[in-house]
Structure 1
Amino acid sequence: MATNLYSADVLFKGKLAGILEQTVTGGTRFTYGDGWTGDIACCFPATQREHNWANGLHPFFQHLGPEGWLREKQARGAHIQDEQNDFALLLAYGEDCIGAVGIRASEEADIPKVEEGAPTPGKTLSGVQKKLLVVKDGDGFVAAGRDGPAPYIAKFNSEAREGLVRNEFLSLQWAAKILGKNEVTQFKTGHFGEEIALIVSRFDRTEKGEKLRLEDFAQVLVKPRGVNYDGKYGSSYEEVARVIREHSARPVIDLDKLFRRLVVFAALANCDAHLKNFSLLETPEGLRLSPVYDVLNTAIYDDLDRNFGLSILGRSRNLEELNGTLFRKFGAEIGLHERAVELALGDLKKQIGKNPINAPSGEPPNGFVSRFEEVVRNQCLRLFEE
């Protein structure tokens, strides 16, 4: 691999939009190409032709890269000794990323050599959980190759966490019942070899495989990922609401959606609703809040943090602090009318009453779904029975 400073083409929907390069001072610079007029991201307005970042890779591009299990596998597959080398990982795997932006080496010599059998060459996605971009293959799914589309994400169980696939399936299923089917990403279970996986349909690709612009809120807010990938937690739900006000084509509607989602996340005891789990998605009317994704009942795992994902009303909040009074104050804080807040809470309470979580017949009281249901029931009592 070349020892000179990296340089890469930045692609937007497969077309050359500009150049990303390392600087001699240890930062990076993104420059729009001559004649390119549209924004490729909220943090890169095209009216400003050059965008500099002083230290390392710009956060927008950092958040395109993998985390956790996939990062380790892709670094090993491309002989990248330093797993923290975000730029090298994107040169090896970043031509097809989540959303519409991709990275392609400007010179052949700059590309880390990817071994045959490395996971999804030329493609990558972010997230700590064990996951892969996959395609349908008969009755099951296989890893996506370098060429062709990758319309699904497969998410797998972990030895460290009981029933991750079952947990997320139940969480998404219940969220879809409460919020509405169209508010949640499409999902199902399927087989990847001998493993059972949660199969999520990508909403950043059309049925024809065309790329749609998608930016998570860590990218929009230009939050560095951090050495321990904790940058996505360094924010507040008020800041999430501000992004919606500034960038959504329908901010009033999307603020209402945000409010309802946060109440449902509180009901599910989903304490991992960080910045990367909210995104703006390209639609015919402009950028809109994307469907719900990456939802998990985290309180079922005793060793995980029980604080809500981001701060709310000025500080971090434990699950036990999340109640109707707090959310009414939050709704007012982000500019929702009192009638809209009460309507949302009334709608959610009604749907929750219609859609109880029921453990399978014969499951013992300490069974997985029984414990899941108990957590949700206790949370709903705090939220709606004041």
Structure 2
Amino acid sequence: MAINKKSLSVRVAGQAAGELFNEQNEFIFRYDSDAAQQDFVSLTMPVRGRDYSHSALPPLFEMHLPEGYLLSVLQRHFAKLNGADDLSLLKLLAPSVRGRVHYQTNTDTTQPLELTDLLSPAAGLFDELVARFALHSPVSGVQPKVLAQIQDKATLCIEDYIVKAWGPDYPQLALNEYWCMRVLKAAGITVPEFYLSDDGALFIMKRFDFTSSGQWLGFEDMCVLAAKSRQQKYEGSYEQLAKTIANFVSPAHKVTALQQFFKMLVLNNRLQNGDAHLKNFGLLYEDIYNIWLAPAFDVVSTTAYIKNDVSALTLMGSRKWWARKHLLTFGVQHCALTQAQANALYDECEQAMQRVATQIQQALVTEEVADKQQILTHLLSCLTPDQIIE
């Protein structure tokens, strides 16, 4: 069978794995005949002789596509030349996809920045980053963001960082995310390395799928694992996420993963993060035998902008914000916790919120910018003792 020109060679950890192409309105992925079992492209797509056929781009490959702001930039500048369909967009970004699954040798010659350039940004830096890195930014999410290469001054190693900005609809979103992530870190939840620029304009987060020994880890978000498209990221429940974690995570990591997920859920409820959807949770792995929960990321208090915002996914059949006793029930019923464990983990979250609330109060004493004051005051209200009435 002849493969049309809209095809893409897929590689896993440097090895040829298969071919992705479009034929008769079907997206087809075909493993090479000599692909080894460890060359699987997704935990949900093991190596086999039969093609994988989808009516849309398979979720694993769709995960590499941008959304929102970056998508509009790429479509505006390149759709006329390259086409606007998902496979054309993926082909456009393919040379810059870096990870366990990639498409061809990266030949990027873009000059890396230094972290200090981002922490003390000049005016207009984010626009410059977009112009410089848009074609090198296969990252999902609707928020304005780019994937930038940063060089460590001491080691001269070049690493990938996700740099996020914000627009007038969501003032001080970087500040919002920075403090929310500080709460999760204080609660003992694994988070990526992250920073806030001195002027609060940029939230900077290091990629977490690359090890210090130079190995790319596999990463799959919950949309991929649930076989859903990015348009379906708000379809599902936190019960289903807990079940996915229990089904996929390796036995050695399962207890920790479910405990971490429970604390993530507690804090997403308390911070009122209405954007904790399927794409904002994921798994990391070295191979099929070593799979664990990915660090927490993309946590913001959305009720700072949408007063009556609700949960991204359902919990106990509702999108409301749940108080302690119901979250404890969730932990026992779906995260394999005892009542004592659930209470202890919730207490860890409470203690973290109290510590960070004190830090926010101190920051408010000297803060003079009105919209920063507003965000910090809102976060402070979220971190006060649980007052939700059932």
The reply to whether TM is greater than 0.5 is yes
Distance 1:330 1:188, change over 3 A: same
Out of 377, 383, 387, the residue aligned to residue 370 of structure 1 is: 377
Mapped contact 1:300–1:375 kept (Cα < 8 A): no
Q: Does 1:312 align with 2:315?
A: yes
Cα displacement (A) at 1:122: 4.9
Structure 2: distance between partners of 1:268 and 1:83: 40
Distance 1:207 1:76, change over 3 A: farther
Cα displacement (A) at 1:51: 4.1
User: What residue number does 1:235 align with?
Assistant: 236
| Alignment RMSD (CA, Å) | 3.0
Mapped contact 1:254–1:288 kept (Cα < 8 A): yes
Q: Does 1:174 align with 2:190?
A: no
User: Where does 1:100-139 land on structure 2 (aligned, <5 Å)?
Assistant: 100-104=100-104, 119-136=133-150
* Gapped regions of structure 2 (runs ≥ 5): 106-129
User: What residue number does 1:112 align with?
Assistant: none
User: What residue number does 2:219 align with?
Assistant: 214
Task: Tell me which amino acid in the other structure corresponds to 2:350.
Answer: K
Out of 189, 193, 205, the residue aligned to residue 186 of structure 1 is: 193
User: Where does 1:45-60 land on structure 2 (aligned, <5 Å)?
Assistant: 45-46=46-47, 48-60=48-60
User: What residue number does 1:330 align with?
Assistant: 330
User: What residue number does 2:300 align with?
Assistant: 296
Q: Does 1:256 align with 2:259?
A: yes
SS in 1 for 2:327: helix
Mapped contact 2:10–2:104 kept (Cα < 8 A): yes
Cα shift readout 1:94-152 (whole Å, capped 9, x = no counterpart): 234364222359xxxxxxxxxx956443551111100001123699xxxxxxxx95511
Cα displacement (A) at 1:344: 1.4
User: What residue number does 1:247 align with?
Assistant: 248
Structure 1: distance between partners of 2:49 and 2:75: 32
Give me the TM-score of the superposition, normalised by structure 1: 0.81
* Gapped regions of structure 1 (runs ≥ 5): 106-115, 140-147
Structure 2: distance between partners of 1:372 and 1:283: 37
Structure 2: distance between partners of 1:208 and 1:190: 28
Structure 1: distance between partners of 2:350 and 2:383: 13
Q: Does 1:205 align with 2:219?
A: no
Structure 1: distance between partners of 2:175 and 2:131: 28
Structure 2: distance between partners of 1:80 and 1:316: 43
Give me the TM-score of the superposition, normalised by structure 2: 0.80
Alignment identity in percent?
25
Mapped contact 1:10–1:101 kept (Cα < 8 A): yes
Task: Tell me which amino acid in the other structure corresponds to 1:218.
Answer: C
User: What residue number does 2:34 align with?
Assistant: 35
Q: Does 1:287 align with 2:291?
A: yes
Distance 1:5 1:56, change over 3 A: farther
Q: Does 1:381 align with 2:387?
A: yes
Task: Tell me which amino acid in the other structure corresponds to 1:237.
Answer: Y
4+ aligned runs moved over 6 Å, structure 1: none
SS in 1 for 2:103: strand
Mapped contact 1:74–1:118 kept (Cα < 8 A): no
Mapped contact 1:19–1:33 kept (Cα < 8 A): yes
User: What residue number does 1:344 align with?
Assistant: 345
More helix by share: 2
Cα displacement (A) at 1:350: 3.2
